[in-house]
C-alpha cells in the first residue's frame, strides 16, 4: 500500500511536470528552439493572478486573467522579439538567447511589482483536507492538481490532434514552407503555439503556488523538472511530454521514499543524462531530420 501511496503522490506532481513539458515541446516542435523563458512566463502569469486577486477580483476570474496575461506576454515576445530576429536570419542559438533574455526581463518586472518576500497564494483547495480510500490518503490540493493536470493535458492533446487549428499547427511544425504554400497563416499559428505554451505554464504555476510560497523564482525547479520530462518523453512528441512528466513524477516520489530525499532533488538531472546517452530522441520522440 505504501508504494501505491507514493505513486499517487508522484502522479500529482508529475501532472504539473507534464503541463510544463507540453509547453516546452510545443515550442520546440513549431520553432526548433528551447524556450528558457518558459518558467518566467509562468511565474509572471501566476503573480498577475495573485495581484488582481488582491484587488478584490474573484479567484476564478483572477485565474482566467492570469492565463490571459501569460498568453499575452508570449505573443508580445513572439511578435516583438522573435519575428524580427528571424527576419534578420538569426540562428537557433541567437533565438534561444532571446528567450533567456526575455526571461531575465520578466524576472526584473516580477521583483519590481511583486517584491522578493515569499507570499501565501489564496486557493480554493486545501492541502490539509484529506480523503481516505482504503489505506490510500490524498489531500484535496494534490487530488485537484492531478485532475486538472490530466484534464488539461488531454484537452490540449485533443486540440492538436482533432481540430482544424491543431491540424494547421501540426502542418506548420512539420513543414513551414509547404504550410505557407497551402495558405496557412503560419505567423498566427506559431504565435498561437507560443501563447498556448505559456498558458499551460501559468496553469501549472497556479496549482503549484498554493503548495509552495510564491516568490519570483518558485517556478525554476518545476521548469527544470518539466524540461527533464520533455527530454524523457521526446522533445518533439506531445504525448511523450505527458508520459515523461508522469513517469518522472512517480520515479521521483519513489526515489525520495526508498532511496533518499536528497537523491530525489537530483533525479531529474540524472534522467536527462541517461536518456541522452541511451536514446537521445526520448521514449516517444523521433529523430528530427532537417528538410533542405
Mean pLDDT, residues 71-95 taken together: 93
List pLDDT tens digits, range 220-271: 989 989 998 898 888 888 888 999 999 899 888 888 888 877 777 777 678 7
Side-chain-side CA neighbours of 93 within 13 Å: the count stands at 0
132 vs 137: CA distance, rounded Å: 5
pLDDT given at position 287: 63
pLDDT given at position 289: 54
19 near 203, Cβ under 8 Å? yes
Mean pLDDT of the chain: 87
Q: Locate cell 529523430: which residue? A: 287
14 vs 264: CA distance, rounded Å: 13
pLDDT given at position 1: 66
150 vs 8: CA distance, rounded Å: 13
Neighbouring residues of 244: CB distance < 8 A, sequence distance ≥ 6:
17, 18, 21, 228, 229, 230, 231, 232, 233, 234, 282, 283
List pLDDT tens digits, range 200-218: 999 999 999 888 888 899 9
Q: Is the pLDDT of residue 89 over 50?
A: yes
Distance from the first to the final alpha carbon of the chain: 54
pLDDT given at position 98: 95
DSSP codes of every residue in 53-102: HHTT--HHHHHHHHHHHHHHHHHHHIIIIIHHHHHTT--HHHHHHHHHHH
286 vs 279: CA distance, rounded Å: 10
Domains of the chain: 2-278 (1.10.3470)
Nearest one of 126, 129, 110 to 118, comparing CA atoms: 110
List pLDDT tens digits, range 54-78: 888 998 999 999 999 999 999 999 9
More confident residue, 111 or 125: 111
Amino acid at each position: 500500500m505504501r508504494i501505491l501511496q507514493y505513486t499517487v503522490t508522484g502522479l500529482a506532481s508529475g501532472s504539473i511536470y507534464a503541463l510544463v513539458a507540453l509547453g516546452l515541446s510545443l515550442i520546440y516542435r513549431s520553432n526548433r528552439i528551447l524556450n528558457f523563458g518558459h518558467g518566467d512566463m509562468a511565474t509572471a502569469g501566476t503573480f498577475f493572478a495573485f495581484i488582481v486577486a488582491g484587488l478584490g477580483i474573484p479567484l476564478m476570474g483572477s485565474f482566467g486573467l492570469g492565463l490571459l496575461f501569460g498568453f499575452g506576454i508570449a505573443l508580445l515576445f513572439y511578435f516583438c522579439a522573435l519575428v524580427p530576429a528571424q527576419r534578420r536570419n538569426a540562428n537557433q542559438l541567437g533565438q534561444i538567447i532571446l528567450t533567456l533574455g526575455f526571461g531575465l526581463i520578466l524576472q526584473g518586472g516580477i521583483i519590481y511589482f511583486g517584491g522578493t518576500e515569499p507570499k501565501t497564494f489564496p486557493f480554493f483547495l486545501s492541502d490539509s483536507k484529506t480523503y481516505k480510500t482504503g489505506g490510500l490518503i490524498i489531500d484535496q490540493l494534490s487530488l485537484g492538481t492531478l485532475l486538472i493536470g490530466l484534464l488539461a493535458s488531454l484537452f490540449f492533446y485533443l486540440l492538436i490532434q482533432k481540430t482544424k487549428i491543431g491540424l494547421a499547427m501540426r502542418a506548420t511544425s512539420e513543414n513551414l514552407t509547404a504550410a505557407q504554400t497551402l495558405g496557412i497563416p503560419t505567423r498566427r499559428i506559431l504565435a498561437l503555439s507560443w501563447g498556448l505554451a505559456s498558458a499551460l505554464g501559468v496553469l501549472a504555476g497556479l496549482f503549484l503556488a498554493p503548495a509552495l510560497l510564491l516568490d519570483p523564482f518558485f517556478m525554476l525547479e518545476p521548469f527544470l523538472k518539466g524540461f527533464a520530462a520533455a527530454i524523457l518523453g521526446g522533445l518533439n512528441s506531445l504525448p511523450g511530454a505527458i508520459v515523461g512528466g508522469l513517469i518522472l513524477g512517480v520515479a521521483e516520489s519513489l526515489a525520495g521514499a526508498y532511496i533518499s530525499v536528497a537523491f530525489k532533488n537530483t533525479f531529474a538531472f540524472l534522467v536527462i543524462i541517461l536518456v541522452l546517452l541511451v536514446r537521445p530522441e526520448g521514449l516517444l520522440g523521433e529523430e528530427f531530420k532537417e528538410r533542405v
